[in-house]
Amino acid sequence: MTEFELIGRFFSRRAASAAVGNGDDCAVIAPSAGQAFAVTTDTLVEGRHFLPTIDPWKLGRRVVHVNLSDLAAMGAKPRYALLSLTLPRIDESWVTRFADGLWHALDEFDVELVGGNTTRGPLAIAMTAFGDVPPEGALLRSGANVGNEVWVSGALGDAGWALYCMIGDIKAEATADQIARYECPTARVALGLALRGIATSCIDISDGLLSEAQHLASASNVCIDIQLPAIPTGLATQLAAPELAARAQHCLLATGDAYELLFTAPETAHRDVDALLRSTGLTGACIGSVIEADTSPTVRVFDAQSRQINVATQGWDHFAHD
Amino acid sequence: MTEFELIGRFFSRRAASAAVGNGDDCAVIAPSAGQAFAVTTDTLVEGRHFLPTIDPWKLGRRVVHVNLSDLAAMGAKPRYALLSLTLPRIDESWVTRFADGLWHALDEFDVELVGGNTTRGPLAIAMTAFGDVPPEGALLRSGANVGNEVWVSGALGDAGWALYCMIGDIKAEATADQIARYECPTARVALGLALRGIATSCIDISDGLLSEAQHLASASNVCIDIQLPAIPTGLATQLAAPELAARAQHCLLATGDAYELLFTAPETAHRDVDALLRSTGLTGACIGSVIEADTSPTVRVFDAQSRQINVATQGWDHFAHD
């Protein structure tokens, strides 16, 4: 199968709304009337962003959700995507499953795949996603105000815990739910859209709660205080077990792959945000507050006894770890 | 150096016109008034799209030109880019030179880098480029009409020849000019813009003349006849040398990396196109004509004696070769 046959067979569908879709040098697309495009690109590399053993269906799905998670964090409505697929070889059954997972996720959000390319090389998948957003109404990282509450849209730590268990770094069994949290993240698109006009700042948790909170704090020039016991997680048992507590806490605060939204909103919107989370079926919670930055923007974490936790682990950085 | 320091130091500049540039979950951008976006993405993988020995400055430049070449082929005006950089490690001097070459090329076309990401893995660079184009005025592959002339914007074969010489596949020395043609392609942006309203179809030659011509023929449902002696090339000496002629002809017809535009235009526009090529300093030429497709759209090549050349090599396919 040639490159062009591969694209034609698995990755080409007639674009419904694009002026020009697949099959030319470029796609031609435009935001909806009165809107701008929120655009993001993410590359998933084998061995770094997914295990070589991943089901290709889940990988195809994952590529979409990981990119759409960035759109969700801006309050954007997903519209289009470009795919750049680097494959070591063409394994037809692999590509079939990958494409199935990809289209399943694209269809869920009515996203049109309007182009891209395939090439040979070490397995990696780059996607660029486009979403409609009001030019002045995007959810930014920089809008958190002193007095705002800090919210997260769902459980943290489970995905990281599952990964550590799967690679044998934690000697325990992850539950099927935890593994699903790692392998099948869900972009919080509906929530992101609903948070327009309510949230003052927003980011998605791809790299770990602490580092994402630090991004919000830095961009908004504020400090953020987080109450550890308030963070929703499936790791309650592990946090209570002396021999596992440290690892569980690390997962909760510093591992990525959760793809939940972390956002700030005025105290006066507390009920609205809470209702919004319930109505979108999410287990999110208010986990902290925005306070004034005295010297520099920082993030602090407090335990149930209001003691500050000394946090050494500052989230995931692709070049800091091996 | 962390991922965020890397981005901050080498790849972040204040975006002049983007509503939101670097440093948030997404960039927020919009086409100019009355325009749509032409969008394209291309990944360059080490060992496939460039040699491991390439000067990183030239690689940075190349990434931009390769992507902008697709915009040129649509008649789009380059505006924005996203960069997704996968590096095996952070080598500061390498990244410095890479970023210098990248910015040099971006600045040449007033393109704003509005986002992207870095990750660790086998060296690969994915770029997504955005250009303004009138929603109904893009140069497509599908507009070639019977009777149109077929044009190319500059010399073909030299880049492929240089590559084959560099990897020892052809036992000859490439000239410095030929090596430059391979290492430093130039996106024909000004020409692409000028061809709006003149060219009836257009494509850029990234994969080889024959396969690109076949794309035009298939999309337009026509046949294309090409006159071999009319193709501009720096390989005249090699084509005349019995022991090199076959390889030289293969380079001329079937190797990629030229990044010239291949386009069709009405005969009545012959003088205009010719003048346009001269005014943009290009050595392009009329190399053939569009004829009716009897059964299926094909490309034929004729020699100086009007004999049809049996062409076995059909351009570059990333999965057909090794």
Domain boundary (B133, B160, B191) is at B133
In a domain, residue A78? The reply is yes
Q: For residue B311, name the pLDDT band (cuts at 50, 70, 90).
A: confident
Mean pLDDT of A225-251: 93
The pLDDT assigned to A321 comes to 45
Mean pLDDT of B248-272: 95
Chain centroid to Cα A89, Å, comes to 29
* 8 Å CB contact of B317 and A3: yes
* 8 Å CB contact of A39 and B130: yes
Can you read off the two tokens belonging to residue B312?
A: 């076995």
The pLDDT assigned to A2 comes to 78
B154 touches chain A (CB under 8 A): no
The pLDDT assigned to A322 comes to 38
Can you read off the two tokens belonging to residue A238?
A: 């592990």
In a domain, residue A7? The reply is yes
In a domain, residue A59? The reply is yes
Closest of B288, B56, B291 to residue B152, by C-alpha: B288
Q: Which of residues 165-204 of B touch A (CB under 8 A)?
A: 202-204
* 8 Å CB contact of A117 and B141: no
pLDDT at B116 over 80: yes
HEC readout, chain B: CCHHHHHHHHCCCCCCCCCECCCCCCEEECCCCCCEEEEEEEEEEECCCECCCCCHHHHHHHHHHHHHHHHHHCCCEEEEEEEEEEECCCCHHHHHHHHHHHHHHHHHCCCEEEEEEEEECCCEEEEEEEEEECCCCCCCCCCCCCCCEEEECCCCCHHHHHHHHHCCCCCCCCCHHHHHHHHCCCCCHHHHHHCCCCCCEEEECCCCHHHHHHHHHHHHCEEEEEEHHHCCCCCHHHHHCHHHHHHHHHHHHHCCCCCCEEEEECHHHHHHHHHHHHHCCCCCEEEEEEEECCCCCCEEEECCCCCEECCCCCCCCCCCCC
pLDDT at A17 over 90: no
Instruction: Say if residues A313 and A253 touch (Cβ distance below 8 Å).
Output: yes
**DSSP string of A19-66, one letter each residue:** SB-TTSSSEEE-PPTT-EEEEEEEEEEBTTTB-TTS-HHHHHHHHHHH
By Cβ distance, the residue of A43, A80, A89 closest to B117 is A43
pLDDT at A242 over 60: yes
Chain centroid to Cα A133, Å, comes to 18
Closest of B57, B50, B56 to residue B101, by C-alpha: B57
Q: For residue A311, name the pLDDT band (cuts at 50, 70, 90).
A: confident
Domain boundary (A133, A157, A189) is at A133
A309 touches chain B (CB under 8 A): no
B1 touches chain A (CB under 8 A): yes
Query: Which residues lie below 8 Å from residue A61, measured CB to CB, with a gap of 6+?
Result: A101, A102, A104, A105, A184
Minimum distance, in Å, between the CA of residue A74 and any CA atom of chain B:
7
**Does B111 share its domain with B167?**
no
Query: Which residues lie below 8 Å from residue B241, measured CB to CB, with a gap of 6+?
Result: B248
> Rounded to whole angstroms, how far apart are CA atoms B163 and B165?
5
**Does A166 share its domain with A126?**
no
CB atoms within 10 A of CB B148: 25
Query: B10, B24, B136, B204: which to substitute to probe chain A, counting the most A Cβ within 10 Å?
Result: B24
Instruction: Say if residues A201 and A142 touch (Cβ distance below 8 Å).
Output: yes
Minimum distance, in Å, between the CA of residue B71 and any CA atom of chain A:
7
Angle CA B230–B232–B235, to nearest 5: 110
**Does A107 share its domain with A203?**
no
**Does B199 share its domain with B294?**
yes
Query: Torsion over CA of B177, B181, B183 and B189, rounded to 10 degrees?
Result: 140
**Does B32 share its domain with B176?**
no
* 8 Å CB contact of A39 and B3: no
Higher pLDDT, A49 or B37: B37
In a domain, residue A142? The reply is no
- Domain of residue A247, CATH code: 3.90.650.10
Can you read off the two tokens belonging to residue B214?
A: 């076949």
ipTM over 0.90: yes
- What number of residues does chain A have? 322
> Rounded to whole angstroms, how far apart are CA atoms A205 and A210?
9
Angle CA B143–B147–B153, to nearest 5: 65
**Does A236 share its domain with A91?**
no
In a domain, residue A317? The reply is no
B49 touches chain A (CB under 8 A): yes
A39 touches chain B (CB under 8 A): yes
Domain range spanning residue B117?
3-133
Instruction: Say if residues A154 and A283 touch (Cβ distance below 8 Å).
Output: yes
pLDDT at A246 over 80: yes
By Cβ distance, the residue of A87, A116, A140 closest to B24 is A140
Instruction: Say if residues B160 and B211 touch (Cβ distance below 8 Å).
Output: no
pLDDT digits (tens, 9 = 90+) for A147-185: 999 999 999 999 999 999 999 989 888 999 999 999 999
Can you read off the two tokens belonging to residue A206?
A: 């791809």
**Does A99 share its domain with A214?**
no
Query: Which residues lie below 8 Å from residue A321, measured CB to CB, with a gap of 6+?
Result: none
Residue located via tokens 């990183």: B56
pLDDT at B34 over 60: yes
Is B291 buried (19+), middle (13-18) or exposed (0-12) by CB count in 10 A?
middle
CA distances from A99 to A32, A61, A93, B68 (A): 27, 9, 10, 28
Please give the single-letter amino acid code of residue A259. Answer: Y
A48 touches chain B (CB under 8 A): yes
Instruction: Say if residues A163 and A185 touch (Cβ distance below 8 Å).
Output: no
The pLDDT assigned to B314 comes to 47
Instruction: Say if residues B196 and B139 touch (Cβ distance below 8 Å).
Output: yes
Pairing between β-strand B285-292 and β-strand B149-152 as defined by DSSP bridges: antiparallel
A54 touches chain B (CB under 8 A): no
Please give the single-letter amino acid code of residue B76. Answer: A
Closest of B26, B310, B88, B294 to residue A42, by C-alpha: B26
pLDDT at A116 over 90: no
By Cβ distance, the residue of A45, A138, A202 closest to B121 is A45
In a domain, residue B287? The reply is yes
pLDDT digits (tens, 9 = 90+) for A77-111: 999 999 999 999 989 999 999 999 999 999 999 99
Would you tell me the crossing angle of helices A245-254 and A209-220 to the nearest 10 degrees?
Answer: 40
A70 touches chain B (CB under 8 A): yes
The pLDDT assigned to A317 comes to 53
By Cβ distance, the residue of B86, B128, B130 closest to A124 is B86
In a domain, residue A320? The reply is no
Minimum distance, in Å, between the CA of residue A319 and any CA atom of chain B:
6
The pLDDT assigned to B295 comes to 87
In a domain, residue B292? The reply is yes
Minimum distance, in Å, between the CA of residue A72 and any CA atom of chain B:
9
pLDDT digits (tens, 9 = 90+) for B190-226: 999 999 999 999 999 998 999 999 999 999 999 999 9
Please name the residue of chain A whose CA is at the shortest distance from the CA of residue B318.
A119
Q: Which of residues 265-284 of B touch A (CB under 8 A)?
A: none
Q: What is the pTM of this model?
A: 0.93
- What number of residues does chain B have? 322
**Start-to-end C-alpha separation, chain A:** 36
Angle CA A107–A108–A109, to nearest 5: 90
CA distances from A49 to A73, A76, B125, B307 (A): 20, 24, 16, 55
Please count the structural domains in chain A.
Answer: 2
Instruction: Say if residues B264 and B151 touch (Cβ distance below 8 Å).
Output: yes
Strand partners, A149: A265, A289
**Does A157 share its domain with A301?**
yes
pLDDT digits (tens, 9 = 90+) for A52-63: 889 999 999 999
- Domain of residue B34, CATH code: 3.30.1330.10
**Does A125 share its domain with A175?**
no
Minimum distance, in Å, between the CA of residue A63 and any CA atom of chain B:
14
The pLDDT assigned to B317 comes to 53
Strand partners, B186: none
**Does B153 share its domain with B266?**
yes
Percent of all residues in chain A with a pLDDT value above 70, rounded to a whole number: 97
Instruction: Say if residues B176 and B229 touch (Cβ distance below 8 Å).
Output: no
- Please, what sign has the CA dihedral across residues B226, B228, B231, B233? positive
* 8 Å CB contact of B49 and A320: no
Residue located via tokens 């397995």: A123
The pLDDT assigned to B313 comes to 52
B4 touches chain A (CB under 8 A): yes
Mean pLDDT of A45-72: 94
pLDDT at A312 over 90: no
**Does A156 share its domain with A44?**
no
**Start-to-end C-alpha separation, chain B:** 36
> Rounded to whole angstroms, how far apart are CA atoms B73 and A118?
19
Q: Is A117 helix (H, G, I), strand (E, B) or coil?
A: strand
The sheet with strand A27-29 has its strands ordered as A27-29, B36-45, B124-133, B77-87, B112-120
* 8 Å CB contact of A6 and B319: yes
Residue A247 DSSP one-character state? H
**Does A157 share its domain with A248?**
yes
Percent of all residues in chain B with a pLDDT value above 70, rounded to a whole number: 97
